[in-house]
Structure formats: structure tokens, C-alpha cells
Copies of this chain bind each other. A is one copy, B any other.
Amino acid sequence: MSFPGNVRIVLVAPEHPGNVGSAARALFTMGLSQLWVVTPACDPQAEEAYVLAHNAADVVRNLRICGSLAEALADTHFSVGTTRRDRRVGYPTLFPEEAAAEIRTRSDSAPMAIVFGRESSGLTNPELALCSIQSTIPAASDNHSLNLAQAVQVYCYALHRAAIADQPAPSHWKLATHVELERFYQHLADSLWKLRLKPATTMDSYVARFRRVLSRIPLEPRDLNLLHKLLSKIDELADRSHASGVTADSTPPHDNHPAK
């Protein structure tokens, strides 16, 4: 079972089957499958759990019920106890991504656990002390709290993100090169001349204002092709109208063209 599949999610005394189901969905979506429930305060496999598990019904069906947290952690090599506040005072509290990294650093395959407490009161201090480290989700204020299933979601996502950390995003920009960009700016300058546009200073400084806008964009070759095509249409129109004597401006072209 490779990372993050080797990580089990342990829910201590959950009170609502719906949360168990939502947690199951969070696990499944992020490539985890092992859900362990310690001394549940509800039926964790009630109908509502299956409804909220959506396509993760197997996770609910196969969940393990334990009589104690110690039993749920027995064969794990490392465990993360989650808490809303710094409960074990002075004991470092990692953020979810850091906790995920600690797990992955230790092993890609040995059983590990992330432990979540009751909806109403979290984990007790003795329960936290059974875990190797403690972790918390940073929230906007201490009074704000995540729902159990949302907390499980954040950790499962952090694990999956750690697993695919080396992979690039699904599709990124295929950026144009410097040469392609310069060819475009040259075309732009030429087209502006054909339009008999008279910059207040030099054409270079005028084109620089377009550079200022366009250089903020991650431009791909096909974006440049689109713009080249537009410029070519402008060129065509300008050439035709100059040839027929129809000019928007009587100033001869290129009067302001900087020496090349």
C-alpha cells in the first residue's frame, strides 16, 4: 500500500454517521481507504453514512471499529494527533502540510495514522499523548472551528498533495520564447507605422507601453499567432487604403521612424 494509501484515518468516538460518511468520501477522493473508528458514539455504518459517502461506500463498509485508540495505533509506526489548539503546551504543533511531509519522510509504505477527536470536544490530552506528534489546521480565529469531515478533508488533501508534489500541475503554460516575443513586437511596431500612428516620443517607447501590458501575461505561441493574424489584417487594410489614396492622416508614413 503506497503513500498515501498507507495512512489510516482514525476517528475517535464520532457522534454523527453523516460525518463518518463525509470523511469516507474525503479519504476515497484523495487515494486513502483505511478508516478506523474508536468507540463510536453513533452507528458509523448507519444509512446516513452511506448517503454522504457517495461513491466511497466501500470505505464505510470496510471501516474497522476498535475498542481503544491504543488498539487503533498498535501496528502504526508514526501517528499524528489533531487538535484545535496547542493542547500539549510547548509541544510543537505542525500544520497539515508539514504533518503530511513528516509522514512521507518516514515511510512510503509502513502503516501510519492521523487521529481526529470527537465533534464536540476533540481528543483528550491522554489521547493526544499517545500520538507521535500533534498537528492543527490554522484557522482565522481560535473560536472558529472546522467540521470533523472538513478537517479530515484538509488532511487527506495535504497527503495527496504531498504524494503528487513532484508532479507538475495538470496543464501549464507552453510559453513563447524571447525570439518569438520579439518577432511579435517588431510586427506590432511595423503595423503601428502602417496605421500612421504618431507616438508622442519614439515608436520604441510607444511599443514599450504595449510591452508593459503584454509582458504581464504568460503568452503562448498560439496567443502570438492570434495577435500576428490581427496585425496582418491591419497591415492588409492599411496597405490597401494607402494604395487607393484613402488615408486617415495626410502625414507621410515613417516620418517619425527612429533611425534603425
Interface residues of A, Cβ cutoff 8 Å to B: 22, 25-26, 28-31, 52, 54-55, 86, 90-95, 97-98, 136-141, 143-147, 149-150, 153-154, 157, 160-161, 164, 169-173, 218
Structural contact, A92 and B29, CB atoms closer than 8 A: no
Closest to A168 in B: B95
Structural contact, A171 and B29, CB atoms closer than 8 A: no
If over half of A's interface residues share one DSSP class (helix, strand or loop), that class is named, otherwise mixed; here it is: loop
- List 8 other contacts, CB 8 Å, given A28-B140, A91-B171, A140-B160: A25-B150, A29-B140, A29-B145, A54-B147, A86-B170, A95-B161, A138-B160, A153-B153
26 A-B pairs within 8 Å (CB atoms) are namely A25-B146, A25-B147, A28-B140, A28-B144, A29-B139, A29-B146, A30-B140, A31-B140, A52-B147, A54-B145, A55-B143, A55-B145, A91-B171, A92-B169, A92-B171, A93-B171, A95-B161, A97-B161, A137-B157, A138-B161, A139-B160, A140-B160, A149-B150, A150-B150, A153-B153, A153-B154
Structural contact, A146 and B28, CB atoms closer than 8 A: no
Question: Please, which residues of chain B bring their CB within 8 A of the CB of A90?
Answer: 171
**Cα distance A86–B169 when bound, in Å?**
11
Question: Please, which residues of chain B bring their CB within 8 A of the CB of A144?
Answer: 28-30, 55
**Cα distance A171–B136 when bound, in Å?**
11
Closest to A26 in B: B150
Shortest distance between the CB of A25 and any CB in chain B (Å): 6
Q: A22-B147, A26-B146 are in contact. Are A136 and B31 (CB under 8 A)?
A: no
Task: Among A93, A137, A171, find the residue whose CB has the most chain B CB atoms closer than 10 A.
Answer: A171
**Cα distance A160–B141 when bound, in Å?**
11
Question: Please, which residues of chain B bring their CB within 8 A of the CB of A173?
Answer: 92
Question: Please, which residues of chain B bring their CB within 8 A of the CB of A29?
Answer: 139-140, 144-146, 150
**Cα distance A30–B143 when bound, in Å?**
11
**Cα distance A52–B150 when bound, in Å?**
12
**Cα distance A170–B137 when bound, in Å?**
10
